[in-house]
Amino acid sequence: MKFPKDFMIGYSSSPFQFEAGIPGSEDPNSDWWVWVHDPENTAAGLVSGDFPENGPGYWNLNQNDHDLAEKLGVNTIRVGVEWSRIFPKPTFNVKVPVERDENGSIVHVDVDDKAVERLDELANKEAVNHYVEMYKDWVERGRKLILNLYHWPLPLWLHNPIMVRRMGPDRAPSGWLNEESVVEFAKYAAYIAWKMGELPVMWSTMNEPNVVYEQGYMFVKGGFPPGYLSLEAADKARRNMIQAHARAYDNIKRFSKKPVGLIYAFQWFELLEGPAEVFDKFKSSKLYYFTDIVSKGSSIINVEYRRDLANRLDWLGVNYYSRLVYKIVDDKPIILHGYGFLCTPGGISPAENPCSDFGWEVYPEGLYLLLKELYNRYGVDLIVTENGVSDSRDALRPAYLVSHVYSVWKAANEGIPVKGYLHWSLTDNYEWAQGFRQKFGLVMVDFKTKKRYLRPSALVFREIATHNGIPDELQHLTLIQ
Ligand SMILES: OC[C@@H]1[C@@H](O)[C@H](O)[C@@H](O)c2[nH]c(CCc3ccccc3)c[n+]21
């Protein structure tokens, strides 16, 4: 089983989870930083009490990890830039023309050469130069880099989650709840494209915007900032993030010719029993809402076409881990516990599939079905930008890896334009509110010594990467019959 010649194979990472670890690499100027250090959050069990400054230390050890990645046959990495490192101070004073439509939506933000020059005066040049150095190190090895601009943390001057929780969003910097974030994000995006445009082969504006507004304002037990339960707030954040993506897309295009996409958290939505048409409507409103709007300009909920939001999806990053299983009762979707993300840590699902340390069911078939459905719906190039398993004993990961790579191969082999598979992740890292307890690395990290140790599945990964597919002698590992 071979992938096409220039198939991208590698891993994804994010600034907040991987960079800090060696003294001097800390970035205390973000909402996530204050959130995980907040004693009340730790006392309430919302966050783990682990700190990112004890992380893998990619900021300083990036060349070692790039060496390791090369050894494992990696040809592509998806990485990020931390907004709060680039602009630790507010950028509000750099004024740019903003156009609104009759409903007050921001339909145009015009960040021109003069504006990026002024932003350059505000930027933290040490951070900018360090990012250029880190990523040049990878690119100069003749390998590919996909650059994502936003992977959850916001600068503190834009979002102070402790103040939001204490005083409410109207009396605190409220991040995505405030539409100024749309303009500031477009300025940040334009600046990075202008400054680092030669590094990536492709851009992504955001990683999983849906997780930011769902975990921040709806499933607040997950320990995401600001932990402020409000459906109205979730809706507002979603609306602003959709506009922020589109305005960033427009402004990246002014400074770079490379494709601009979005990396999104998908699950395979499976119907166990009930009317399919009810389920399809539910799926469209729940899973495809954001991507429908930024590709087709409308969705099942916002039926009126938005020209300023449509056709802003050159490629789609698919983050896939597991499924969600439903049945429809009296026209209402009921989610079934035990399956998918609602499995028990280290348990077995009702379908007899193993579940990870995080309690996520291993369900590789879902990745194939999802890739097929996404291509039929959007018709754009797809890259699996995240897929992995929390598995400290590396007991599930070899079969998990081969089975999901098999699903990607099966889709590609049927003509679906899946251009790459990026594993989550190369090394163990800081898992947000969970801290260091979830182990997603092909490579284990001793967080005291920062030493890296290959888990057996790193060698399985190397066989797949160097073979550019699944070698015959590994096919026995696929869980899919
Ligand atoms: O949980 C593993 C990874 C995170 O470390 C990444 O930062 C994030 O992009 C990411 N997304 C998902 C799937 C969606 C999800 C997010 C948070 C919690 C549960 C599920 C899994 N992961």
Ramachandran angles phi, psi of 372, nearest 5°: -65, -45
Contact predicate 471/402, CB 8 Å: no
**Distance, CA of 81 to CA of 203 (rounded, Å):** 11
**Distance, CA of 433 to CA of 436 (rounded, Å):** 9
Report H helices in 141-179.
161-167
CB atoms within 10 A of CB 146: 28
- Cα of 206 vs centre of ligand 1, distance in Å, is 13
> Which ligand 1 atom lies nearest to the CA of residue 429?
5
Contact predicate 294/242, CB 8 Å: yes
Does domain 8-477 match CATH 3.20.20.80?
yes
CB atoms within 10 A of CB 462: 16
Nearest Cα residue to atom 12 of ligand 1: 265
Enzyme catalytic residues: 386
Report the pocket of ligand 1 as residue ranges, CB < 6 Å. 14, 17, 207-208, 211, 265, 319, 321, 386, 424, 431, 440
Closest C-alpha among 472, 451, 431, 427 to residue 12? 427
- What residue ranges do the domains of the chain occupy? 8-477
- Cα of 434 vs centre of ligand 1, distance in Å, is 11
**Distance, CA of 21 to CA of 164 (rounded, Å):** 28
User: Can you point out the beta strands (E) in 127-201?
Assistant: 144-148
**Distance, CA of 397 to CA of 403 (rounded, Å):** 10
- Cα of 346 vs centre of ligand 1, distance in Å, is 18
Nearest Cα residue to atom 14 of ligand 1: 265
Q: At what angle do helices 125-139 and 180-196 cross, to 10 degrees?
A: 50
Q: At what angle do helices 365-378 and 397-413 cross, to 10 degrees?
A: 30
Nearest Cα residue to atom 4 of ligand 1: 431
**Distance, CA of 227 to CA of 221 (rounded, Å):** 7
Question: pTM for the full model?
Answer: 0.98
Nearest Cα residue to atom 2 of ligand 1: 431
Number of H helices, E strands in the chain: 16, 13
Tens of each residue's pLDDT in the chain, 481 residues: 999 999 999 999 999 999 999 999 999 999 999 999 999 999 999 999 999 999 999 999 999 999 999 999 999 999 999 999 999 999 999 999 999 999 999 999 999 999 999 999 999 999 999 999 999 999 999 999 999 999 999 999 999 999 998 999 999 999 999 999 999 999 999 999 999 999 999 999 999 999 999 999 999 999 999 999 999 999 999 999 999 999 999 999 999 999 999 999 999 999 999 999 999 999 999 999 999 999 999 999 888 999 999 999 999 999 999 999 999 999 999 999 999 999 999 999 999 999 999 999 999 999 999 999 999 999 999 999 999 999 999 999 999 999 999 999 999 999 999 999 999 999 999 999 999 999 999 999 999 999 999 999 999 999 999 999 999 999 999 998 7
Report H helices in 336-393.
365-378
What is the torsional sign of CA 391, 396, 401, 407? Answer: negative
Task: Write down the pLDDT at residue 402.
Answer: 98
**Distance, CA of 319 to CA of 388 (rounded, Å):** 9
- Cα of 362 vs centre of ligand 1, distance in Å, is 15
Task: Write down the pLDDT at residue 468.
Answer: 98
